[in-house]
Structure 1
Amino acid sequence: MKNFSIKLSIYLNYFVFAILLNSVGIVIAKSINVYGVVESDASLLEAFKDLPIAFVSFLVASFLPRFGYKRAMLVALVIVFFGCLGMYYGNTFDTAKVLFLTVGVSFALIKLSVYSLIGVVTDTPKEHSALMSSVEGFFMVGIASAYFLFPAFYSDTDPDAWLQVYPVLCVIIALSFVLLLFSKINIPIETSGKSVVDDIKSSAGLLVMPLVLVFIFSAFFFVMVEQGIMTWLPRFNEKIFSFSEVLSVQMASILAISLALGRFIAGWVSKSIAWEKIVIVCSIISVVILLSVLPQLKMEGNAVVLNGLGDVPLLGFILPLIGLFIAPIYPLLNSTVLSHLPKRLHSPMSGLIIIFSALGGTLGSRIVGTLFEHIGGVNAFYFLIIPIALLVISVLIIKRLIKKQDNHDS
């Protein structure tokens, strides 16, 4: 396979960070149940994860090609290795904040490198879209793994037993580091100027492009929806469906599996169906699912706690299937915009994607967490319909701008 070692590194590193990054919903639930933190305060973990992603992306996106993608990913793995050790030995809400701070900083370096390398190793927009969707799909496989890995260490008698997951994660991170260290990534990277200052000026120029401006808002709206659901679904399952703590996390894995499956399917379907049609249809179906499930749920769950899969009501299985339909949106949007820009601008454009995705994730999780605390989980999830509607409008504008750009180039 062409560029096999690069692609293997991309998949493996994304898998590791999928587990770490999206354990935030699990750790939020643990912070509430073990550390006694209220929902609105627990939602701050999302900010400790996402704001460093935005800040680091802003700082390094322009000159990352000069620093080197492999070097950046190795640094990221070292940082997060020590973050996991700190959580294991610290065992407080404050060390959880530090953990997600290291995860955020590291993931910014990983995602910038991965998105830029996808542009380097692909030659056409359709090839770019297919690889982007499969990589993002594998990311969701990592997320699904987290929903099984963490509960494997839960104990009814020892509230700290779940921390045993972090030494395991350290071993996985170390393995990823060694494999990446000996992989061959020797690709000439095209930068946007003769110096770092030129690179930064070129990056800033992206912000005046109408296509880029509309896109970053669409990315913002999507991640607001995705993180709002993903972060709070374990807590939603516990409070609304009355699932046990373990069952709540395991049922949330259906969302991650649905997201993974949806992105793999999108990588295949996007070769024959226009990207904007896929995004709009999937957005509409997502709203239909919310409007079908939420009105049938009570604001608070039953007194009886459900422990087994056989006790789960049908609605408990249907709600997380929304992941199947929101899944294709993010990689298709990212791929569409990146593949319509010169490769020398892929790193700074990836920086903008990550910055606004991080801000959208933080705001979405914060809003849902605050609404969850004050008006209940069911009403909080109704809010997600608003950014979905705004996303559809953004997609229609993006399609019009790309058509205009293509007509101008021809």
Structure 2
Amino acid sequence: MQQRRIYLTLFLTYFVFAILLNSVGTVILQVINNYGVSKSAASVLEGYKDLPIALVSFLLASFLPRWGYRKAILSGLALVTAACLCMPLLPAFATAKLLFFCVGVAFALVKVSVYSTLGLVAADARQHASSMNLLEGCFMLGVLSAYWVFGYFIDDAHAQSNRWLQVYWLLAVLCALNFLTVLGTPFPQQEPLARGASLAQEFADMLKLFFKPLVCVFIITAFLYVLIEQSIGTWLPTFNNEILHLPAAMSVQVTSIFAACLAVGRLSAGVLMRKLNWYPVMNACVLGMAAMVLLALPLTQQVDASAAPGWSNAPLAAFLFPMIGLFMAPIYPGINSVMLSSLPRHQHSAMTGLLVIFSALGGTTGSLITGYVFGHFSGHYAFYLTLLPISVILLMLFLFRRAVQRSGGGLDGSVIIGASH
């Protein structure tokens, strides 16, 4: 019973943070409309979210076992509760920056703590794998919920309305309830003891790991993948609104197709990759991503702005392009599993730290580049540009497979699907 209560608490925490983390695209659209912020300026919100994740993960990951995972989760929830309350009370672009800065700091604390607590609670490897997939499933439910919850509060009739900020009262309540749930839940008493090495030595070990050829190729691949996923996920609501001329609320809600496809693709690949080797599956997914870009984007060129599209007569591209998520979904968790399976267990913590850091940097880079190209050229060019990192990923996967084989990490192709960044 106590174990189920701990799981429920961890899943609820991840659900809430999924909503907050994946609202950045919606907030970018709204600050452009409400505050007159340029696209290039609005794109920095991704950096305010991702860079704190990278920095805090790097600085505090090795400290959290000493501090306590429960305390870290409570601190993160308290921080985002206060930040959510600031949004409707102090409506401004600067407040949005503060919100995502707090969300980034809090998620770095929460992700390390939640993952580590799952390791303490799970009885064996099979239960751990199962709980990880359930955790990531809750994350995807949160992502899906974010688009519809925010879409409900957006007032299409009054583009300059601040009604959308009322959603943060609801989110503050959810965060506060989550805080009380964690506070009332007894976590495992025995937490892992810190190693005798100093923090400086742990940082040095992490940096040394990066210079291994296998790890370097993996990090580049993960960086490029997150760059693509975040650039699409963040800017798709604005693309739907300005290029496809969908109403603001619908522009946000239709983006949920992208999140749904990520969820379906991830779960489907989890079944598929129990039977097939990871490398051909990954190659097929990358080629599928390129095909979706080349198939869907030409359909957006001649959209009639005067048609006032709704769900019944929206352009085909509005539903087709988000389906790129079906092909994207297996890549990130797939390469993560292959990488971790190729390393000894004592290096998993350092590897996870590097992954979090470069995933965050990839997300920020993708959003900034896409925002710049979107603002100075066109949304079409911004999304066509994803073909460049897609091509590089295809090459990196080839090098990654060779590096895995040389390292002696011969894998049978079975990987765990489901990893958030």
- Say whether the fold is shared (TM-score over 0.5): yes
1:301: how far off? 4.5
> CA deviation digits over 1:34-58, x for unaligned, max 9?
1011111111111111111111111
Contact 1:5–1:185 (8 Å) recurs in 2 = no
Among residues 259, 273, 278, which one is paired with 1:275 in the alignment?
A: 278
Moved more, 190-199 or 154-163: 190-199
Change (3 A) 1:99 1:407: closer
Structure 2 residue 255 is the aligned partner of structure 1 residue 252:
yes
Pairs within 5 Å for 1:208-219: 208-219=211-222
1:280: how far off? 1.9
Quote the residue 2:315 is aligned against: 313
State how far apart, in whole Å, the 1-side matches of 2:263 and 2:112 are. Answer: 21
Moved more, 385-394 or 187-196: 187-196
State how far apart, in whole Å, the 1-side matches of 2:10 and 2:217 are. Answer: 28
Aligned to 2:111, the other structure's residue is in SS state helix
Among residues 141, 164, 188, which one is paired with 2:166 in the alignment?
A: 164
State how far apart, in whole Å, the 2-side matches of 1:248 and 1:407 are. Answer: 44
Quote the residue 2:408 is aligned against: 406
Contact 2:66–2:193 (8 Å) recurs in 1 = no
Moved more, 63-72 or 28-37: 63-72
State how far apart, in whole Å, the 2-side matches of 1:122 and 1:342 are. Answer: 20
> CA deviation digits over 1:254-279, x for unaligned, max 9?
11111122222233333332233332
Q: Partner letter of residue 222 of structure 2?
A: A
Contact 1:119–1:346 (8 Å) recurs in 2 = no
Change (3 A) 1:115 1:237: same
Contact 1:224–1:364 (8 Å) recurs in 2 = yes
Change (3 A) 1:174 1:407: closer
Quote the residue 1:369 is aligned against: 371
Contact 1:119–1:339 (8 Å) recurs in 2 = no
Aligned to 1:309, the other structure's residue is in SS state coil
Pairs within 5 Å for 1:18-97: 18-97=18-97
> CA deviation digits over 1:296-351, x for unaligned, max 9?
321x7432253521011222211111111101111222232234334443333222
Contact 2:236–2:255 (8 Å) recurs in 1 = yes
Contact 1:243–1:307 (8 Å) recurs in 2 = yes
1:30: how far off? 0.5
Contact 2:154–2:248 (8 Å) recurs in 1 = no
Aligned to 1:37, the other structure's residue is in SS state coil
Q: Partner letter of residue 97 of structure 1?
A: K
Contact 2:50–2:104 (8 Å) recurs in 1 = yes
Contact 2:65–2:191 (8 Å) recurs in 1 = no
State how far apart, in whole Å, the 2-side matches of 1:343 and 1:184 are. Answer: 28
Q: Partner letter of residue 380 of structure 2?
A: V
TM-score by length of structure 1 reads: 0.91
State how far apart, in whole Å, the 1-side matches of 2:140 and 2:265 are. Answer: 10
Structure 2 residue 205 is the aligned partner of structure 1 residue 202:
yes
Change (3 A) 1:114 1:217: farther
Quote the residue 1:341 is aligned against: 343
Contact 2:25–2:233 (8 Å) recurs in 1 = yes
State how far apart, in whole Å, the 1-side matches of 2:182 and 2:392 are. Answer: 40
Among residues 231, 235, 239, which one is paired with 2:238 in the alignment?
A: 235
TM-score by length of structure 2 reads: 0.89
Q: Partner letter of residue 238 of structure 1?
A: N
Structure 2 residue 258 is the aligned partner of structure 1 residue 262:
no
Quote the residue 2:192 is aligned against: 189
1:6: how far off? 4.3
1:66: how far off? 2.5
Q: Partner letter of residue 247 of structure 1?
A: M
Q: Partner letter of residue 89 of structure 2?
A: Y
1:216: how far off? 1.3
Q: Partner letter of residue 254 of structure 2?
A: M
CA RMSD of aligned residues (A): 2.5
